[in-house]
C-alpha cells in the first residue's frame, strides 16, 4: 500500500493555465532514472472554460468547487491511464504518483483573519480518486505544508531542480517558461541555502491571451512565434511594463493563476491600442516583455549571472521568444532540458514524480530560500494504494 | 514520522453546524482505550458566521474558501493544543490525529459532468497546518476515498460504532443526535454486511434555528428543553413534515450542512405561523418532529427493531427531546454512551481518532452497507509528523 521500493513513479502536472495536465512516467535504476513515457493531455474546451471560471474570486460557488475537485480527480486518473496504455506500461508497475493538482487560488502575501496573518492556496483534483482508480499510492497537495511553515507554497519543485540540474563548478539557472515563468538559480557549491527560485513574470498564458485579443479570437496562440517574427517590439512599452509591482518585488515572490492571466493581458492590449500598435507589433512586444522580464529578474535578483541557462516548458517551442531571450542575455549559454533527456514540456510532471518519492522516503522537499518558509518540511499528503484489498 | 506504535490518539470533529470543534484524546492499553481528555470548543461568533456563510452555493468565492481552509487548520491545531494543555497532556505524547474537517458542501446524489455521474464533498480545515503546528501525523479527508469508491461519504464513523458498541446477542442502534441525526444499526451477529447507517433527519441545528426564529433571536437554543416542555406538539404538522422527501428516501442517504439548516427551519416556521402556533408550541412541535423522524426511520428502514438504543451527541442534553424519543419508542431501552465512559458530545471526536488509527494500520475503514460504496477502502489522507526534522 505504501511501496517499500520505488521502481517506477508517475508525475501529474496541471499548470496555472488551467488548460490540461502533463503526465510523465519515470523508471529508476540506482541513482538514475529515465522518462519512459510522457504526454501533455489537453482538457476539453468545456472543461477548460469551467476550470478557468473557478479562478475568479467571489463569483463561483462551493458547489462548483466541490464538483470540479472530483471531476478533475477523474480526469487526472484517466490521463495517467491513457499515457500508460499508449506506452504499454501496466498501471500496476507504477509504485507512486505525485500530483500537482490544479491551483485555483494563490494568496502568497498574508491576509489578516482574527488578527492572524494567513497565507493560503486552494488546489483541487481529488487525489483519493486517483489512488482509488489506479490503486497506486498518491501524493498530492504539496504546497499546503510549505505554507503551514510560513512559505508561499511556490515555487514548489526547486528541490528537484537542485537534484537534477546543479553543476559542480558553474552557477546554473533553470528557467521554466510555461503558464508563468519561473527561475531556479543553482549555485556551484550545490548547497541549498544559496539556491534562489521565484516566478520571473508573465508566460504563455499572457502570450496566448494577447494573441487571442490581437486576432479577434481567430488564433489561440502564436504558432512557432510567427506573428512576433513579423512584428516590431515597442521598447518603450516593454520598459514601462517592466515596472509592474510584481516584477520589481524582491523574492520570495510567486504568481497565481490570476496574476498574469486574462485581466493582465486586457490591460496590456488596451495600452498597446492607445499607442496604435498593429496586431503583430502587439504580439512582438508581448513576447519581448516575457523575454525582458526574465532578463531583468536575473539582473536584479540573482546573486551572480549564471554561466548556463537551462530552459523548460512549452514556451521553449516558440523560437522567436527563445531568440529574444538569447538577445537579452548576450554571451550566456542557453540549452533546453530536452538535451538532457527530459522533454521540456514534461519537466514539471517529472518533478512531481520525484517530489512524491521524497515524501514517501520522508525527506524534506521544500526549499526555504525559495518559498520563504521558516524551515524544511516534508510536503505532501499521502493517499494509500489499494493492492492489499 | 509515521508512528509504529499508537499509545495516544487525538480526534477532532467539526460538526455540520459549523459552530465549533470537539476534541478528544484517547489512551490505549491493549485492545482497550480510555478518553483521557475531551472538550467542545466553540468558534467565535465571527468565525461561525464566516463558516456558515460558505455553505451557500454560488455566493462565496474561491478566495474565501482558500483563506478559511488555512484559518480552520489553525483553529483546529489551537483547539487540540488547548485541550492538551488544560489536561496537562504533552502534545508530543500523542501519536496520531484524526480530523473530520469542516464539511462545506455535500453532494451525495450524482451530478452529471462530461456525461459522468459525480458525487462530491468539499471539506476544509487544512491538515498540513495541524501536522505542522503539532508535529503529529494527521489523517484527514476520510470521506473522499469512500466517494471515490461510489459511496456517499457519509455516515463515515459507522465502522467505529461497530467496533465500540455492537453486542453479541441483541441488535443495538447507536443514535447520534447533533447537527443532524444519524443512526448506526448493529446486528447481533456482528457482521458488517448487516450494519445499516444513515442520517435519520433534522437535529440540533434545526431546533436551534427554530428557537431563534420563535424568540426573535433572544434565545440561541432551547436550554434544557424548557420551551418545548411548556408547549404542545401539533401532531398534524409533525405528520405532514414526516413526508419530506429526504425522510421518506430509502438509505443510503446522507445530509449536508444545508439539508436541515436555516432554509428548512424557515419553511417550518412559516408553516407553523400559518397554523397560528404560539412560540412554545412551535418549539415543541419541532422537537416532536426530531423525535418522530428518528422513530419513523427505525420503523421503515431498520431490518428489526433494536433492543437497545445508545444515544450520543449534544442533543442528548435536551431532556424534553429525550422524553419524546422515549415515548415514540415504547419498551425500548435507551441509554447514553456516557454510561459507557464516553461523553455524548465527545463521541464523534473519539471516532475520528479511531478512524485515523485504522488508516495508519492500513485497515479498510468505510462501511459499504452504510455509504453505498462498491467496496471497502482505506479512507484518509496522511500528512506526516515532523519528529525526524
A–B CB contacts, 8 A cutoff, strictly below = 192
What does the radius of gyration of chain A's CA atoms come to, in whole angstroms? Answer: 20
Q: What span, in angstroms and rounded, lies between the C-alpha atoms of A325 and A334?
A: 9
Tell me the three cell numbers of residue B348.
464523534
Are B67 and A388 a contacting pair at CB < 8 A? no
Question: Mutation test of the interface with chain B: which of A115, A135, A381, choosing the one with the most B Cβ atoms within 10 A?
Answer: A381
Q: What are the chain A neighbours of B60 within 8 Å (beta carbons)?
A: 58, 61-62
CB-nearest to B128 from A114, A133, A145 is A145
- What is the helix (H) or strand (E) element at residue A320, kind and residue range? helix A319-328
CB-nearest to A107 from B67, B126, B380 is B67
CB-nearest to B65 from A65, A133, A141 is A65
pLDDT in tens, B75-134: 999 999 999 999 999 999 999 999 999 999 999 999 999 899 999 999 999 999 999 999
Name the phi and psi angles at B201, rounded to 5. Answer: 165, -155
Least Cα separation, residue B227 to chain A (angstroms): 35
Q: What are the chain A neighbours of B49 within 8 Å (beta carbons)?
A: none
Q: What span, in angstroms and rounded, lies between the C-alpha atoms of A40 and B135?
A: 37
Nearest CA in chain B to A143: B128
Let me know: does B170 contact B344? Beta carbons within 8 Å.
Answer: no
Nearest CA in chain B to A1: B362
Let me know: does B351 contact B14? Beta carbons within 8 Å.
Answer: no
CB-nearest to B377 from A68, A132, A379 is A132
Q: What are the chain B neighbours of A149 within 8 Å (beta carbons)?
A: 132
Least Cα separation, residue B206 to chain A (angstroms): 22
Let me know: does A370 contact A158? Beta carbons within 8 Å.
Answer: yes
Distances (CA, A) of A201 to A243, A254, A259: 12, 9, 9
Other C-beta atoms closer than 10 Å to the C-beta of A224 total: 12
Compare B53 and A82 and report the one with higher pLDDT. A82
Nearest CA in chain A to B359: A384
Strand ranges in chain B using DSSP code E only, listed in sequence order: 8-13, 20-29, 32-42, 96-99, 102-113, 116-124, 138-140, 172-177, 180-186, 196-202, 308-312, 333-336, 381-383
Q: What span, in angstroms and rounded, lies between the C-alpha atoms of A146 and B364?
A: 30
Q: How many CA atoms lie within 13 A of B382 on its CB side?
A: 31
Q: What are the chain A neighbours of B73 within 8 Å (beta carbons)?
A: 148
Least Cα separation, residue B118 to chain A (angstroms): 7
Confidence of residue B30 (pLDDT cuts 50, 70, 90): confident
Q: Got the DSSP string for A242-272?
A: TT-HHHHSPSS----TTTTSHHHHHHHHHHH
pTM for this structure? 0.96
Distances (CA, A) of A15 to A99, A103, A383: 11, 8, 22
Q: What are the chain B neighbours of A63 within 8 Å (beta carbons)?
A: 57-58, 105, 107
Nearest CA in chain B to A111: B67
Confidence of residue B388 (pLDDT cuts 50, 70, 90): very low
Q: Got the DSSP string for A162-188?
A: HHHH--SSS-EEEEEESSEEEEEEE-T
End-to-end CA distance of chain B: 9
Residue A387, pLDDT score: 62
CB-nearest to A104 from B62, B67, B129 is B62
Q: What are the chain B neighbours of A132 within 8 Å (beta carbons)?
A: 145, 148-149, 377
Q: Got the DSSP string for B179-241?
A: SEEEEEEE-TT--GGG-EEEEEEE-HHHHHHHHHHHTTTS-SS-GGGHHHHHS---HHHHHHH
Q: What span, in angstroms and rounded, lies between the C-alpha atoms of B322 and B317?
A: 8
Other C-beta atoms closer than 10 Å to the C-beta of B3 total: 17
Distances (CA, A) of B365 to A61, A163, A267, B156, B362: 31, 38, 52, 8, 9
What does the radius of gyration of chain B's CA atoms come to, in whole angstroms? Answer: 20
Tell me the three cell numbers of residue B147.
466517494
Residue A388, pLDDT score: 41
Q: What span, in angstroms and rounded, lies between the C-alpha atoms of A220 and A42?
A: 14
Nearest to B292 by CA among B258, B247, B336, B255: B247
CB-nearest to A384 from B129, B378, B386 is B378
Q: What span, in angstroms and rounded, lies between the C-alpha atoms of B175 and B334?
A: 10
Question: Mutation test of the interface with chain B: which of A62, A151, A355, choosing the one with the most B Cβ atoms within 10 A?
Answer: A62
Q: What span, in angstroms and rounded, lies between the C-alpha atoms of B116 and B122?
A: 19
Provide the residue-wise pLDDT of chain A in tens; the chain has 389 residues: 788 899 999 999 999 999 999 999 999 998 899 999 999 999 999 999 999 989 887 767 899 999 999 999 999 999 999 999 999 999 999 999 999 999 999 999 999 998 999 999 999 999 999 999 999 999 999 999 999 999 999 999 999 999 999 999 999 999 999 999 999 999 998 788 899 999 999 999 999 999 999 999 999 999 999 999 999 999 999 999 999 999 999 999 999 998 999 999 999 999 999 999 999 999 999 999 999 999 999 999 999 999 999 999 999 999 999 999 999 999 999 999 999 999 999 999 999 999 999 999 999 999 999 999 999 999 999 999 986 43
Q: What share of chain A is helix, strand, coil (3-state, %, to 5)?
A: 45, 20, 35
Identify the DSSP state of A237: H
Q: Mean pLDDT across the stretch B144-149? A: 98
Distances (CA, A) of B285 to B142, B268, B293, B313: 36, 10, 12, 21
Are A67 and B148 a contacting pair at CB < 8 A? no
Q: What are the chain A neighbours of B67 within 8 Å (beta carbons)?
A: 107, 111, 113, 118, 120
Residue B387, pLDDT score: 62
SS (H, E, C) A332-389: CEEEEHHHHCCCHHHHHHHHHHHHHHHHHCCCCCCCHHHHCCCCCCCCCEEECCCCCC
CB-nearest to B107 from A46, A67, A114 is A67
Amino acid at each position: 500500500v505504501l511501496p517499500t521500493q520505488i521502481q517506477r513513479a508517475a508525475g501529474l502536472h496541471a499548470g496555472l493555465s488551467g488548460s490540461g495536465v502533463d503526465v510523465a512516467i519515470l523508471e529508476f535504476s540506482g541513482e538514475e532514472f529515465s522518462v519512459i513515457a510522457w504526454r501533455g493531455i489537453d482538457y476539453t474546451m468545456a472543461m477548460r472554460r469551467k476550470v478557468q471560471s473557478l479562478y475568479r474570486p467571489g463569483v463561483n460557488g462551493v458547489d462548483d468547487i466541490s464538483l470540479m475537485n472530483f471531476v478533475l480527480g477523474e480526469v487526472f486518473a484517466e490521463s495517467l491511464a491513457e499515457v500508460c496504455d499508449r506506452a504499454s506500461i501496466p498501471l500496476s508497475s507504477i509504485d507512486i504518483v505525485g500530483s500537482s493538482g490544479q491551483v485555483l487560488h494563490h494568496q502568497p502575501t498574508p491576509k489578516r483573519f482574527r488578527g492572524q496573518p494567513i497565507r493560503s492556496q486552494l488546489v483541487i483534483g481529488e487525489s483519493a480518486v486517483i489512488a482509488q482508480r489506479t490503486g497506486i499510492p498518491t501524493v498530492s497537495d504539496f504546497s499546503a505544508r510549505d505554507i503551514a511553515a510560513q512559505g508561499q507554497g511556490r515555487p514548489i519543485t526547486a528541490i528537484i531542480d537542485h537534484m537534477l540540474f546543479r553543476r559542480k563548478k558553474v552557477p546554473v539557472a533553470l528557467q521554466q517558461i510555461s503558464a508563468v515563468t519561473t527561475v531556479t538559480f543553482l549555485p556551484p557549491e550545490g548547497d541549498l541555502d544559496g539556491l534562489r527560485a521565484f516566478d520571473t513574470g508573465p508566460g504563455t498564458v499572457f502570450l496566448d491571451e494577447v494573441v487571442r485579443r490581437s486576432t479577434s479570437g481567430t488564433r489561440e496562440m502564436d504558432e512557432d512565434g510567427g506573428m512576433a517574427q513579423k512584428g516590431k517590439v515597442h521598447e518603450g512599452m516593454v520598459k514601462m511594463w517592466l515596472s509592474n509591482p510584481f516584477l520589481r518585488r524582491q523574492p520570495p515572490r510567486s504568481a497565481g493563476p490570476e496574476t498574469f492571466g486574462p485581466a493582465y493581458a486586457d490591460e496590456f492590449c488596451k495600452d498597446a491600442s492607445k499607442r496604435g500598435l498593429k496586431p503583430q507589433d502587439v504580439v512582438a512586444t508581448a513576447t519581448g516583455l516575457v523575454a525582458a522580464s526574465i532578463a531583468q529578474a536575473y539582473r536584479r535578483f540573482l546573486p551572480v549571472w549564471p554561466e548556463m541557462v537551462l530552459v523548460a516548458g512549452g514556451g521553449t517551442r516558440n523560437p522567436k521568444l527563445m531568440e529574444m531571450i538569447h538577445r537579452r542575455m548576450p554571451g550566456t549559454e542557453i540549452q533546453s532540458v530536452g538535451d538532457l533527456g527530459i522533454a521540456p514540456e514534461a519537466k514539471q510532471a517529472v518533478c512531481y514524480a520525484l517530489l512524491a518519492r521524497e515524501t514517501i522516503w520522508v525527506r524534506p522537499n521544500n526549499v526555504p530560500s525559495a518559498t520563504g518558509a521558516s524551515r524544511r518540511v516534508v510536503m505532501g499528503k499521502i493517499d494509500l494504494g489499494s493492492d492489499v484489498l
